[in-house]
Amino acid sequence: MSDYAKGLEGIIAAETEMSFIDGQKGVLEYVGIPIGELGKNSTFEETVFLLWNQRLPKASELEAFTKDLRSRYEIPGALAERIKALPTTAQPMHVLRTLISELALYDNDPNANDPDSARDKSLNVLAKAPALVAYFDRHRRGLDFVKPDASLGFAENFLNMLNGEKPTETMARAFDICMILHTDHGLNNSTFTARVIISTLSDVYSALTGAVGSLRGPLHGGANEGVMHMLNEIPDLDAVEPFIMGKIERKDKIMGFGHRVYKAKDPRAFALQGLAKQLATDTGNQDLFNKSMKIEEVMTRELGAKGIYPNVDFYSATTYHCIGLKLDLFTPMFAMSRLGGWSGHVIEQLSNNRLFRPTAKYVGPHDAPYVAIGDR
Ligand code: CMC
């Protein structure tokens, strides 16, 4: 039996054909294609097809896949009514986790795990997640729902449902690129969670629900909200240095930095930095971008030698803010795109399944006496 690895660091627990990461060199590829290339040239829909089929689609295949996805944008009427009854104080990640689970209640055969069913259910959840988030956000703002528009792409449709108006082409494309960059990332915690759950031959809904719960944590996808809180706390550029130095001295974690796998700058952070810069200029948020750059400069100087650099969450905070998203929608955005990756891993796990069941190293006592309750 091999040694105990706390946090499963360095343990290979699954095989995947979806994404490849070289943490030392800062490389991320989806099915062999560098992430930067996909960000420049692909769309979220095409990226999901690539991950689920391990090849780029032909034009006719992409058209059929997109058409199928769009035809599933709307959520069941009863579920829409249910959203209207949710507390307006609820947090969107809790809402998304709950409602993905509830989608199973509207499926006549929720437990079917054959390959076609797993793909069908995955596509269904992916297509409906934007409406779940947008409807809830409009409900808490006291606004009527804006129905999905099947003539729009995934990113554009979401922003249209959220804001009640079509985004500009630049905004829609920026959001689409964010979705691509967040779609998959090896055996990260939420993906592992999804694979662990489906390995019991449970069901797609349970696996995806569990993954949302995992992603919410501030050490994982919740870090993008933490970054925005930090940026809001720092009043101006001059305050960056003392703020960050104070945190380092107190040994506080700085959100949006560090990674279990990357010991160089996360390749997604390069792409998001470019997007954040452009959007900050377009939307008059240069202050935010300048503060981010200064944080990176101080962090690299102080902790770069330890391999701590910006991760995907750092510049996605500024990007999402400039797109006009409320802070507590940042992590749901991450979840919406990662559903593409989680589903791909669920499908992959089912195609070559073995139950995940690791071993714990017992460190408690042995041969302990049973002490009667009156004598304790
Ligand atoms: N700020 C300051 N110090 C840090 C940071 C950070 N963000 N990240 C790691 N360190 C230090 C840590 O204090 C420890 O120092 P020492 O050896 O002196 O005790 C050392 O680096 C190793 O840290 P660790 O927490 O044991 O490393 P890990 O591989 O378990 O953690 C991590 C990886 C992502 C949880 C961690 O870097 C972290 O907490 N970062 C902040 C949260 C964050 O941005 N999460 C998003 C991750 S990327 C996207 C995603 O997964 O959603």
End-to-end Cα distance, the chain: 38
Residue 9 lies in a domain: no
What ranges make up the beta strands (E) of the chain? 19-22, 27-30, 33-34
Residues 216 and 293 in one domain: no
Residue pLDDT, tens place only, 178-231: 999 999 999 999 999 999 999 999 999 999 999 999 999 999 999 999 999 999
Ligand 1 centre from 312 Cα, in Å?
A: 13
Q: Is residue 119 part of a domain?
A: yes
Instruction: Establish if 375 belongs to a structural domain.
Output: no
- In this structure, the answer to whether residues 117 and 227 fall within a common structural domain is no
Same domain, 204 and 243: no
CA 71 to chain centre: 23
296 found inside a domain: yes
CATH code assigned at 54: 1.10.580.10
**Is residue 243 domain-shared with residue 159, that is, in the same domain?**
no
* Sheet with strand 27-30: strands edge to edge: 19-22, 27-30, 33-34
Question: Which of 313, 178, 212 has its CA nearest to residue 254?
Answer: 313
Whether residue 268 sits in one domain with residue 159: no
Per-residue pLDDT tens digits for 260-306: 999 999 999 999 999 999 999 999 999 999 999 999 999 999 999 99
User: Could you tell me if residue 201 is left (phi over 0), alpha (psi between -120 and 50 degrees) or otherwise beta?
Assistant: left
Q: What is the pLDDT of residue 3?
A: 85
Q: Does residue 3 form part of some domain?
A: no
Determine the Cα–Cα distance for residues 147 and 160; give it in Å rounded to an integer.
9
361 assigned to some structural domain: no
- Test site for ligand 1: of 259, 309, 330, 334, most ligand atoms within 8 A of the Cβ: 259
Range of the domain at 80: 26-220+339-351
Q: Within 13 A of 262's CA, how many CA atoms are on the CB side? A: 24
Per-residue confidence (pLDDT) for residue 198, from 0 to 100: 98
Question: Which of 224, 243, 308 most suits a substitution to test ligand 1, by most atoms within 8 Å of the C-beta?
Answer: 308
Q: Is 225 left (phi over 0), alpha (psi -120 to 50) or beta?
A: alpha
Q: Are residues 204 and 67 in the same domain?
A: yes
- The number of distinct structural domains making up the chain is 2
**Which CATH number goes with the domain that contains 257?**
1.10.230.10
Of 157, 134, 178, which is closest to residue 320 (Cα–Cα)? 178
Residue from 26, 16, 23, 12 nearest 54 by CA: 16
What's the CA gap between 28 and 58, in Å, rounded?
Answer: 23
- With tokens 């089929």, the residue in question is 53
Q: The whole model's pTM is what? A: 0.95
- One domain, residues 119 and 52: yes
Establish if 275 belongs to a structural domain.
Answer: yes
- Pick the catalytic residue from 139, 266, 313, 321: 313
Annotation says 259 is catalytic: yes
Instruction: For residues 280 and 283, give the distance between their C-alpha atoms in angstroms, rounded to a whole number.
Output: 5
**Pair 170, 67 in one domain:** yes
Q: Which of 139, 182, 259, 321 is catalytic?
A: 259
- 338-360 confidence digits (pLDDT tens): 999 999 999 999 999 999 999 99
Residues 159 and 227 in one domain: no
Residue with tokens 């959001």: 175
| Spatial contact of 244 and 237, defined as CB atoms under 8 Å apart | no
Same domain, 165 and 34: yes
**DSSP string for residues in 79-117:** HHHHHHTS-TTS-HHHHHHHHHHHHGGG-SSTT--SHHH
Is 39 a domain residue? Answer: yes
Judgement on whether residues 111 and 152 belong to the same structural domain of the protein:
yes
pLDDT above 80 for 2: no
Residues 176 and 229 in one domain: no
Residue-level length of the chain: 376
